[in-house]
Amino acid sequence: MGSTDGIEVRRPREGAAHEVLTPDALAFVADLQRTFGARRLELLARRTARQAELDAGHLPDFLAETAHVRAGDWRVAPVTGDLANRRVEITGPVDRKMVINALNSGATCFMADIEDALAPTWDNLMEGQVNLTAAIDRTIGFVGPDGRDYRLNDRVATIIVRPRGWHLHEKHVWIDGAPISASLFDFGLHFYRNARRLIDRGSGPYFYLPKMESHLEARLWNDVFVHAQAALDIPNGTIKATVLIETILAAFEMDEILYELRDHSAGLNAGRWDYIFSAIKKMRGRADMIVPDRAAVTMTVPFMRAYTELLVQTCHKRGAFAMGGMAAFIPNRRDPEVTNAALARVKDDKERESRDGFDGTWVAHPDLIPTAMAAFDAVLGDRPNQIERQRPDVHVTAADLLALGQTPGQVTEAGVRGNVSVGLQYIAAWLGGSGAVAINNLMEDAATAEISRAQVWQWIHHGVTTAEGTLVTVEWVDGLVDEELAKIEASTGAAFGRFRWAEAAHIFREVALGETFPDFLTLPAYEILD
């Protein structure tokens, strides 16, 4: 495959790493980094320049230079086989027990997450790659502490892998004196190890692509796919990728993103939690775009409704899947009343998505699958999707996508405290190696923690006053951090000492209370992650 000269692995290659990081696999990912790493850095610099334009008051709009793409008569390549029916997809990290349970869950697909639901410790990453291969080979197994033996059923969900986003690097692997792109590392290892295995089983190498902000970033992914397929003598177009529209800038370029990936496209997904975070982050300088408490920012508020309706219309016009957003509720088996109320909200959410034209949706817990499946079965019947539903009734403008200020609701003290508590608990868990964390009956991942800290930053910097009359200031929130930590300690007892609370509090203060706004809380957190 190639030389390993210039490749430095800064962790011992033992255990799972010894199995994963073979010389040929390292040479493959190094080739991807050498071929595409410079373009990735250029695109990240473009993000910074774009943010400066937004901070200067230049609002985003649909691109004049790509109007011909939006007006053109074209469609993406068809998707068939085990990716044609995606009505309920379950998501979760690639730890061994999760992989088995997700594949056995009854969902049509499993989004195997190496991104927001996975804390990227070295062991998590290496073991996750091993687990994916074992799942594809049907050899994966797990014995729990109680002696229960977990094995795959005869019929399992279709695997779709989500690598980390373009903004992240893998600090433990350096190529020619610089850390490798985490996107290329995660994608490259899975593709190199498993593409042939998947094809031989009648499936294929399927991916979810996160955090993109422009069609140029989609073009880079497409070029990576073309290059990787040629390197392994796999026919072009074998890879199928679904792009998460989870940044507000990408919402203005959905047609263009599909066009760039048209030979490899499996559609778009409404990544709702990251989208809310992105909207706050990108528009953070505007006093007319302040949003209320996180709980008030539902899928039916104007700016979220506009984005999802445009996504369905755009996808179906191009023959592509439109995938709905995450239901993050975690059932509380000790409190049936809480569970029943939440399931009713999930039912409403999934029925709305299916009526709007989505072809499938996401859930975070197996207990939500029957509710979500029933909503889509009622609309789809025996059809695998409803791409034929074109939605000519949808007319979304740039102003509609930017209507953050029209979100009903208030900023409350409970909302601020809730954001502080969630942020602290999530960061502490993430530093402890867990990227998907059940907090207050919701599955929190990096995206929801990002909303929590971004809202606090926004409210402080625009001098927001809560409904109770308290001015949201750095000093007040700084005190809330100590108060919420004390509450967490009181409620967790001896378990409190198992987490890195001091470091979590430091990071939360850095990303929520600082003068500048770090793009992602995982960037400073990753520097101290094992």
Q: How many helices (H) and strands (E) does the chain have?
A: 18, 15
Alpha carbon distance 249, 282 (integer Å): 8
- Tell me, letter by letter, the H, E, C secondary structure of 38-101: HHHHHHHHHHHHHHHHHHCCCCCCCCHHHHHHHHCCCCCCCCCHHHCCCCEEEEEECCHHHHHH
Beta-ladder partners of 111: 91, 160
Alpha carbon distance 156, 110 (integer Å): 9
Spatial CB neighbours of 145, under 8 Å, sequence gap ≥ 6: none
Is 250 in a helix, a strand, or coil? helix
Two tokens, residue 430: 């993430």
Q: Which helix (H) or strand (E) holds 428?
A: helix 413-431
Strand extents, DSSP E, 105-163: 109-113, 141-143, 149-151, 158-162
| Range 336-339, long-range pairs (CB < 8 A, 24+ positions) | 338/441
Amino acid identity at 153: N
Residues annotated catalytic, as ranges: 162, 445
Spatial CB neighbours of 135, under 8 Å, sequence gap ≥ 6: 99, 100, 103, 152, 156, 159
Among candidates 169, 271, 262, which has minimal Cα distance to 213?
271
Q: Which helix (H) or strand (E) holds 356?
A: helix 336-356
Helix then strand then coil, % of the chain, to nearest 5: 50, 15, 35
Maximal CA-CA distance, the chain: 65
Alpha carbon distance 90, 96 (integer Å): 15
Strand extents, DSSP E, 133-229: 141-143, 149-151, 158-162, 169-175, 178-181, 206-209
Alpha carbon distance 207, 205 (integer Å): 7
Q: Which helix (H) or strand (E) holds 32?
A: helix 23-55
Q: Scanning the structure block, which residue is given the tokens 């009713």?
A: 344
Residue 401, CA distances (Å) to 141, 188, 407 in order: 46, 35, 12
End-to-end CA distance of the chain: 31
